[in-house]
């Protein structure tokens, strides 16, 4: 029994489209980047994707109504280049390996029918440290050695080891089995977490990955709004780091005082 359901909203006619994927990951790097592209390019929603493998709860919207967890496909007609674009985004990933494979297989089958022969996917590259003033580095992986030049032309180094968890990596491997070309761009993030334990969106990493992707695709994109969000996020992170530093100092002083020995 198929556990993935598609709700087609319109039938786009596209020319040699590329698929660009970015579901939630560490730091929400991929999702932030994809959602920004969709907003700024005014891409059109044409299909909703539902799965029994998605988290079993609903989101409450501003108007008080509920919405199932879902993925979405958008399209954008590129009048200046040979390739239109299809974007895959969503508010979740499948929770099980079976769900990841099933969703990936179904998505690739449907976009192939729309003419997709090349897949770009975005992902986070988790690192231990990254200076607030330092621009995140962007790395790449490919499905075929012939694509290496595509990345080296834009000074993107190839990774030679490691792995990519979840849909953002799996779809590249599944695309390779179908003899589709694929490129993954990974942006450095340290996976910031707020004091309450919630993951913080790494806007700076998303901006870095978009700068590379748009150059590869040859499209113009206004990143000024993302730059503003980056500055706000950086200030917030600085405050968190300062709070952590002060807390650790207080703990250290308290511990030192307890270890003192007194003589009468």
Q: At what angle do helices 97-113 and 167-177 cross, to 10 degrees?
A: 50
Q: Single out the residue of 166, 114, 170 nearest to residue 143, CA to CA.
A: 170
Structure confidence by residue, pLDDT tens digits, 230-261: 665 555 555 555 555 566 566 666 656 655 55
In sequence order, the 6+-apart residues with CB closer than 8 A to the CB of 217 are 18, 81, 83, 85, 120
| Interatomic CA distance for residues 120 and 213, integer angstroms | 9
State percent of the chain over pLDDT 70: 80
In which domain, by residue range, is 55 found?
4-224
Write down the pLDDT at residue 108. Answer: 95
Residue linked to tokens 């113009």: 220
142 DSSP β-pair partners: 183
Write down the pLDDT at residue 40. Answer: 94
State percent of the chain over pLDDT 90: 51
Token representation of residue 105: 């297989």
pLDDT band at 210 (very low <50, low <70, confident <90, very high): very high
Structure confidence by residue, pLDDT tens digits, 136-188: 899 999 999 999 998 999 999 998 888 888 888 899 999 999 999 999 999 98
Write down the pLDDT at residue 76. Answer: 96
Write down the pLDDT at residue 126. Answer: 83
Does residue 199 carry a pLDDT above 90? no
Q: Is 240 among the domain residues?
A: no
Q: Is 50 among the domain residues?
A: yes
Write down the pLDDT at residue 164. Answer: 83
Q: Is 258 among the domain residues?
A: no
Q: Is 210 among the domain residues?
A: yes
Q: Is 170 among the domain residues?
A: yes
Q: What is the DSSP string of the chain?
A: ---EEEEE------SSPEEEE----GGGHHHHHHHHHHHHHT-EEEEEEEETTS-S-EEEPTTS-EEE--EEEEEE--SSSS--EEEEEES---SSHHHHHHHHHHHHHHHHHTT--EEEEEEEEE-S---TTSPPPEEEEESSGGGHHHHHTTT-PBP-S----SHHHHHHHHHHHTT-EEEEEEEEE---B-TTSPBPP-HHHHHHHHHHHHHHHT-----HHHHHHHHHHHHHHHHHHHHHHHHHHHHHHHHHHHH-----
Residue linked to tokens 């020995």: 261
Q: Is 188 among the domain residues?
A: yes
Structure confidence by residue, pLDDT tens digits, 27-56: 788 898 999 999 999 999 999 999 999 989
Q: Is 259 among the domain residues?
A: no
Does residue 90 or residue 198 have the better pLDDT?
A: 90
Supply the CATH number for residue 196's domain: 3.40.50.10900
Q: Is 104 among the domain residues?
A: yes
Total tally of structural domains belonging to the chain: 1
In sequence order, the 6+-apart residues with CB closer than 8 A to the CB of 246 are none
In sequence order, the 6+-apart residues with CB closer than 8 A to the CB of 263 are none
Write down the pLDDT at residue 148. Answer: 92
């Amino acid at each position: 029994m198929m556990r993935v359901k598609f709700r087609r909203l319109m039938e786009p006619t596209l020319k040699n489209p590329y698929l660009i994927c970015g579901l939630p990951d560490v730091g929400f790097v991929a999702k932030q980047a994809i959602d920004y592209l969709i907003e700024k390019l005014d891409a059109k929603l044409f299909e909703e994707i539902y799965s029994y493998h998605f988290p079993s709860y609903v989101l409450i919207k501003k108007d008080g109504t509920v919405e199932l967890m879902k993925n979405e496909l958008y399209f954008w007609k590129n009048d200046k280049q040979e390739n239109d674009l299809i974007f895959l985004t969503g508010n979740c990933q499948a929770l099980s390996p079976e769900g990841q494979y099933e969703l990936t297989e179904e998505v690739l089958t449907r976009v192939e029918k729309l003419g997709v022969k090349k897949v770009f996917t975005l992902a986070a590259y988790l690192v231990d440290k990254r200076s607030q003033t330092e621009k995140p580095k962007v790395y790449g992986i490919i499905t075929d050695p012939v694509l290496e030049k595509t990345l080296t032309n834009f000074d993107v180094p190839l990774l030679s080891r490691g792995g990519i968890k979840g849909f953002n990596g799996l779809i590249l491997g599944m695309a390779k089995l179908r003899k589709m070309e694929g490129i993954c761009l990974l942006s450095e993030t340290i996976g910031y977490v707020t004091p309450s334990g919630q993951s913080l969106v790494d806007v700076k990493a998303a901006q870095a990955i978009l700068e590379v992707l748009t150059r590869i695709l040859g499209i113009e994109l206004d990143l000024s709004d993302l730059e503003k969000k980056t500055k706000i996020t950086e200030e917030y992170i600085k405050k968190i780091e300062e709070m952590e530093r002060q807390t650790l100092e207080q703990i250290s002083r308290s511990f030192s005082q307890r270890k003192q020995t007194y003589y009468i």
